[in-house]
Structure 1
Amino acid sequence: MSTKKKIYLYTRFERFWHWVQSLLIFLLLLTGFEVHGTFTLFGFQKAVEYHNFLGLTWVILFIFIVFWVVTTGEWRQYIPTTKKLFEVIGYYSSGIFKGLPHPVKKSKETKHNPLQRLTYLGLTAILLTLQMGTGLLYYLYNDWAIWNWTFLDLRLLALIHLACAFAILAFIIVHVYMTTTGHTLTSHISAMFSGWEEVEEGEVAEWEVQKKR
């Protein structure tokens, strides 16, 4: 019978920005969809004001996150790799339902499996950056004429911003589901509160072993 142990994976700041960013994104989606007339909660004017404030707050937080990732060396966690990528895809598509072990084990040096690396890198470098960029341009719309930004199209910008919002919402839905695939339904979520992740005793990431050879 296998035993489990806990390893400290997520620092305080890592957990802080994860939950604060999650809250900001949720509120941005809420106010953003109200601005588009999906429902009425705060009222159009208030929704616009809240959305602008939350968006600027998110940009500031994102800058701190990027700075932290770069200065702490955590950027290495997001280096894409295809090693065991298809094994991980196979695990989540069928192996997990058969009770098979995860093909890539977690460690301090390898928090993310190959699929997560590709997903988080694309999310951060492309989707979130595009969302914030279009949001800032949208926010500065009244200054376009001053800067002679006649090449920009407000309708196209709004469409891209909205499409990114739906893509982020889709990611959140999948992400929440994936948090339930740990040793228990709440083990991954608990780890993002405490910082401690539960793993099988003796589990060592293959990549970590290869580094020592």
Structure 2
Amino acid sequence: MTSQDWLINNEGVCQAVDWGIPEVDSFRPYRLYRFLTDLEDILEQISDDALRLQAICPLVRQLLRSSSWLQIPMVEPNPETGWEVLMLYDEPFFPLTVQLVAWAPGVVSPVHNHACWGLVALLSGEEKNTFWRRSGRGDAPDAIEKIGDRIFSPGDVLCLMPEAIHHIEATSPEPTLSFNLYGETNYPQRFQFDPLAGTARNF
């Protein structure tokens, strides 16, 4: 199992980062409610998305180490769509969602952005992420170009900036399971991209 943190910036560049590992009190489990309280403090104190991700990523690792129930597959991919989402936390009027996401082998997502900061921790399986960025063409403002790709394994944590564009392919023979955390989505700026047509539509 790998254990690397990755930052995908707004230009689609994926780079390894070292944001540290917090000290863990082995006598006090780090439960989901404590994690959410710590997240709320971070959101109130830090407005920069990259700095938020830097502060949140070690807490996600602490939660996953302390909460073994998150490592147990509680969600299976939908046989019709090839994927499924189990919402662990989604409170109205609070800018945070926590999910477990399952992908069936071979399923490929659309090319998309999230229009918010996000964090994805791989729990099982593998997924190939392909990263894109807007090409900056005046005649086609929604045209995108491929930047690169990387295969992520259990223990890897992806930190996504709001304008990061990617698509996912589940590459392992067994379902891929991830712990996903997202900030408040700016829905008018969330898009699904068509790389061939150079177009985008709200997603």
Structure number with greater CO (CA < 8 Å, separation at least 6) is 1
Higher strand share: 2
Q: Over alpha carbons, which structure has the higher Rg?
A: 1
